[in-house]
Amino acid sequence: MSNTKSLLTIKDLHASVEEKQIIKGLSLDIKPGEVHAIMGPNGAGKSTLGYVLSGRDGYHVESGSVTLNGDDLLAMETEERARAGLFLAFQYPVEIPGVSNLEFLKAAVDAQRQARGEDSITSADFLKEAKAACKQVNLPVSFLKRGVNEGFSGGEKKRNELMQMLLLKPKLCILDETDSGLDIDALQVVAEGVNSQRSDDRSFIVVTHYQRLLDYIKPDFVHVLSGGKIVKSGDASLALELEAQGYAWLQNEPAEDELEG
């Protein structure tokens, strides 16, 4: 089972938004099946990392390299990255009224099947899969008919992200502050869904401010992101240490009042 080939390799990444340097020399290596937690204070660049890896407009890579399965991720368009197996679960999923969740999910699944040279899935087969996914993330089936995330509560949006993950079966999932805005019950549902997807060939980057989520999703590695780079790495116990100490010990960090929320 042991596979030493890396799934994701980030080398000395520098990236900016609106000419402001946010990522300043970040390196990270993730092997298939591993769960990496990235923690850090607000403004450390946690969300930016997800946007840069997914290729969002306006996020510029200045230098460094990123490979996914050995392929140059940064040379790909956003949709190509998704088809190559990258999935970003948003902190704030976008509402799209008028586009039904079902239509959206099927378009996404079809696009990825097409990229693999497979035929489109039939509507009937897809509906079956989508209903099963709904059930698994504890969303009523009626949510398939509603506009994408339209009027969903915070928890429902996160579960909808999870449902997309179940259907798209990505190789690398980036969970961007998936715990934000969730109560403990919703958090458990999402964590169980994530755990059910853990496998030897699927890796996760769990971005979070708090240790709480990591009680439910046990990471193999924990990294502390500060000032745009990883300043400390360790195993799951590092998260507990951070919980006890906060982020104040980090060098050149913002004042304590900025660390909340």
Partner 1 sequence: MSEWLESAIARAQGINDWLAPKRANALDLLANSQWPTRKTEAWRYTPLRPVERTQAKVLTDEVNLKPIAIADLSAIELVFVNGKFDPSQLADMLPDGVSIALGRDLDSTKQTDALNAFSTIKPQRHLFGLVNDALAQDVVIVTVAEGVDIAQPIRISSLLSLGAESHTRVQVSLGAGARLTVIEDVQAQGDSLNTAFVEYNVAAKAHLEHYRFALQTGTNVAIGGSHFNLHDHAKMHSSIVAFGSDLSRLDTDIIHAGEYADAKLNAMYLLDNKELFDLHATVEHAMANGTTQENVRGIVADRARAVFNGRIHIHRDAQKTSAELNNRNLLMSDKAEINTKPELEIYADDVKCAHGATVAEIDKQALYYLETRGISRSKAQVMLNFGFINELIDLMPNAALAEWVRPIIRERFAQMDVE
**Which among 131, 127, 128, 147 is positioned nearest to 139, based on CA atoms?**
131
Q: Does 49 participate in binding partner 1 (rule CB under 8 A)?
A: no
Number of residues that bind partner 1 (CB under 8 A): 29
- Tally: H helices and E strands in the chain: 8, 12
- State the minimum distance, in angstroms, from the CB of residue 36 to partner 1: 20
Q: Which one, 113 or 198, has the nearer CB to partner 1?
A: 113
Alpha-carbon distances, residue 72 vs 135, 194, 201, 204 (angstroms): 36, 27, 19, 19
Out of 71, 79, 192, 241, which residue is the one contacting partner 1 (CB under 8 A)? 79
From 98-106, 186-194, 214-222, 233-241, give the range in contact with partner 1 by CB under 8 A.
Answer: 98-106
Half-sphere exposure of 16 (CA within 13 A, CB side): 6
CA 46 to chain centroid, in Å, comes to: 11
What's the token pair of residue 3?
């596979």
Question: Minimum CB separation from partner 1 for residue 211, in Å?
Answer: 27
Indicate which single residue of 8, 10, 90, 133 sits in contact with partner 1 (rule: CB under 8 A). 90
Taking the least distance from each CB to partner 1, the nearer of 87 and 247 is 87
Helix (H, G, I), strand (E, B) or coil at 206: strand
Is 151 a binder of partner 1 (CB under 8 A)?
no
Alpha helices in the chain (DSSP H): 46-54, 78-83, 101-115, 123-136, 154-168, 184-197, 212-216, 237-245
Residue 57 touching partner 1 (CB under 8 A): yes
What binding mask, one character per residue, do residues 115-134 give for partner 1 by CB under 8 A, x or -?
x-------------------
Among 56, 128, 131, 135, binds partner 1 (CB under 8 A): 56
- Name residues whose C-beta falls within 8 Å of residue 158's C-beta, 6 or more positions apart in sequence: 89, 93, 178, 181, 182, 186, 190
The residues binding partner 1 (CB under 8 A) are 54-57, 77-79, 81-83, 87-88, 90, 93-94, 96-99, 103-104, 107-108, 111-112, 115, 147, 164, 168
